[in-house]
Amino acid sequence: MTERKALLLVGSPRGIDRSSSGRLGGRLLDALKERGFETDKLHVHAVVRSPTETERALIAIESAGVVILSLPLYVDSFPAPVIALLERIAERRTGAGRVRFLLLIQCGFPEREQNATALAIAERFAAEVGWEWLGGLAFGAMENHGGSATEVLPRIAAAIADGKPIPEVALKRVMPAWFYRLGGNIMWRRQAKKNGVTRRLRAKPYAD
Amino acid sequence: MSYDLDTMNALVLDGFRGVEGQSILAVLTNALAQSGYGTEVVALRDKTIAPCLGCFGCWIKTPGECVIDDEGRSVARAAARCDLLVYFTPVTFGGVSSELKKAVDRLIPNISPFFARVQGETHHQKRYPHCPSLIGLGILPQPNREAEAIFKTLVEHNALNFRSARTAAAVVALDGTSDVAAIARGLIEAVAR
């Protein structure tokens, strides 16, 4: 019955409940639960801090039919602790030949295409470890909120539950990139002002 | 970590968990020396570098410096001051190893939070007028075109994000089919000023 077990790995340093990755993955997990899946969640950063927790996670992965990795894009790839866990999985080929693998990834830039390298790494990981690559859902900045995700995640859950290919989804652009850059730059100034560091925003502490 | 300001300085981030890549690393550092670089190698496996918290504190609380006071800061400082940053890593699913990535994730204080349009995409503005060039030298047990292509794309994109002056990447296979010295020389020549 392992194929009806779904495990969410949250790869954000902010944890399961306080991160967009956790909330987004949680919504997919809820949709799978409604379709009769047994579900569980793990926070990758907590898992890799302790060998005991890593062992527990590997056992959970071994018994899962579906693994969903939900994370923020970090410098074109995954946060370091996520790569560390994937390395442990690959060493043992945990879940080889059985796990179906899906990636949910969110980029801090408005162009979701910037997730492409990370998606390729995830697919390569799946090939090397012997997991079935279901595909990835890549979001640009702020695209994970409301509309598109609400519409898309239940369709993905349905495809996973029915053993069908993950449907191609067309996410709606939230805003033009130039507008995001403008708004983002205003936001950085506001946050710096709140912290009393406006004048130091362009500081160069490591200049010669 | 201090650099001689009269010579070109290279910072090699060694992302191997053990010492298995050392013979190739020696070829690389030798090629750097022959090209006039003063080279510092940081064995990241020996460094205590906590994972990036994703808090943006390095942009809006302590601009230019990570809020975590560990060896991640000294690596970021060295990376900001060098002329050439080198990723030396086992190619891991086409990407870099977790040992290397723990340091790379902590380099974001070296760029500005402010957004800019770079080659048609959104990236960050430079924090420092001088950004080091970036070389990626990945190691694979045997040739693998797919992993190699992903690795090269990753390094190229990292260079865009870090606003690197120039960039080049290559993959060496441990099966004896790679001319390591020629590859190392080629990478250094590709980013030569």
pLDDT of residue A1: 45
A40 to chain B nearest CA, in Å? 24
Interacting residues of A45 by C-beta distance below 8 A, sequence separation 6+:
A11, A12, A13, A15, A79, A81, B51
Q: Are residues A29 and A63 in the same domain?
A: yes
Q: Residue B176's domain spans which residues?
A: 8-190
Strands (E), A4-112: 5-10, 38-43, 66-72, 100-106
Compute the distance between CA of residue A196 and CA of residue B7 in angstroms, rounded to an integer.
39
Q: Residue A203's domain spans which residues?
A: 175-208
Instruction: Work out the pLDDT band at A91, boundaries 50, 70, 90.
Output: very high
Interface of B with A in 95-134 (CB under 8 A): 95-98, 101-102, 104-105, 107-108, 110, 112-117, 121-123, 127-128
Q: Are residues A62 and A142 in the same domain?
A: yes
Compute the distance between CA of residue A127 and CA of residue A139 in angstroms, rounded to an integer.
23
Q: Are residues A188 and A162 in the same domain?
A: no
Q: Residue B109: inside a domain, yes or no?
A: yes
More confident residue, A46 or B3: A46
Arithmetic mean of pLDDT, A40-63 = 97
Structure tokens at B127: 């924090």
Q: Are residues A55 and A145 in the same domain?
A: yes
Q: Residue B184: inside a domain, yes or no?
A: yes
Q: Are residues A96 and A196 in the same domain?
A: no
Q: Is the CB of B59 less than 8 angstroms away from the CB of A201?
A: yes
Sort out which chain B residues have CB atoms less than 8 A from A114's CB and list them.
121-122, 157
| Strand-strand pairing, A100-106 and A132-139 | parallel
Q: Are residues A102 and A198 in the same domain?
A: no
Q: Are residues A160 and A186 in the same domain?
A: no
Q: Does B158 contact A at CB distance below 8 Å? A: yes
Q: Residue B82: inside a domain, yes or no?
A: yes
Judged by DSSP in three states, B54 sits in coil
Q: Is the CB of A87 less than 8 angstroms away from the CB of B51?
A: no
A202 to chain B nearest CA, in Å? 6
Q: Are residues A144 and A185 in the same domain?
A: no
Nearest to A188 among B80, B114, B147 (CB): B114
Asked whether the beta carbons of B133 and B165 are under 8 A apart, the reply is: yes
State pLDDT tens for residues B27-56: 999 999 999 999 999 999 999 999 999 999
Task: Please tell me whether the interface predicted TM-score (ipTM) of this complex is above 0.85.
Answer: yes
Sort out which chain A residues have CB atoms less than 8 A from B150's CB and list them.
117, 120-121, 124
Sort out which chain B residues have CB atoms less than 8 A from A199's CB and list them.
none
B145-161 and A116-129 helices cross at what angle (nearest 10)? 150
Structure tokens at A117: 């390298």
Compute the distance between CA of residue A192 and CA of residue A139 in angstroms, rounded to an integer.
27
Q: Are residues A120 and A196 in the same domain?
A: no
pLDDT of residue A143: 79
Q: How many domains does chain B have?
A: 1
Q: Which residue has the tokens 């891991």?
A: B92
Q: How many domains does chain A have?
A: 2
State pLDDT tens for residues A107-140: 999 999 999 999 999 999 999 999 999 999 999 9
Largest CA distance in chain A: 61
pLDDT of residue A2: 57
Q: Is the CB of B63 less than 8 angstroms away from the CB of A197?
A: yes
Q: Residue B3: inside a domain, yes or no?
A: no
Which residue pairs from B142-147 have beta carbons closer than 8 angstroms and sit at least 24 positions apart in sequence?
A: B142/B173, B142/B174, B142/B175, B142/B177, B143/B171, B143/B173, B143/B175, B143/B177, B144/B91, B146/A124, B146/B94, B147/A124, B147/B91, B147/B93, B147/B94, B147/B171
Compute the distance between CA of residue A165 and CA of residue A153 in angstroms, rounded to an integer.
14
Give the bridge partners for B43, in sequence order: B14
Q: Residue B104: inside a domain, yes or no?
A: yes
> Which CATH number fits the domain that encloses residue A80?
3.40.50.360
Nearest to B93 among A86, A202, A206 (CB): A86
B35 to chain A nearest CA, in Å? 23
A36 to chain B nearest CA, in Å? 33
Amino acid found at B189: E
Compute the distance between CA of residue A100 and CA of residue B96 in angstroms, rounded to an integer.
24
More confident residue, B168 or B4: B168
Sort out which chain B residues have CB atoms less than 8 A from A109's CB and list them.
115, 121-123
Strands (E), chain A: 5-10, 38-43, 66-72, 100-106, 132-139
Q: Does B143 contact A at CB distance below 8 Å? A: no
Instruction: Work out the pLDDT band at A147, boundaries 50, 70, 90.
Output: low
Q: Is the CB of B51 less than 8 angstroms away from the CB of A45?
A: yes
Q: Does B93 contact A at CB distance below 8 Å? A: yes
Q: Are residues A162 and A66 in the same domain?
A: yes
Q: Residue B1: inside a domain, yes or no?
A: no
Spatial CA neighbour of A64 closest among A132, A17, A11, A127 = A132
Residue A35 burial by CB count (10 A; 0-12/13-18/19+): exposed, middle or buried? middle
Q: Are residues A165 and A205 in the same domain?
A: no
pTM of the model: 0.96
> Which CATH number fits the domain that encloses residue B126?
3.40.50.360
Q: Express as a percent the part of chain B with pLDDT over 90.
A: 92
Q: Is the CB of B60 less than 8 angstroms away from the CB of A188?
A: yes
pLDDT of residue A146: 60
Q: Residue B101: inside a domain, yes or no?
A: yes
Spatial CA neighbour of B50 closest among A138, A7, A79, A191 = A79
Sort out which chain B residues have CB atoms less than 8 A from A143's CB and list them.
none
Q: Are residues A13 and A104 in the same domain?
A: yes
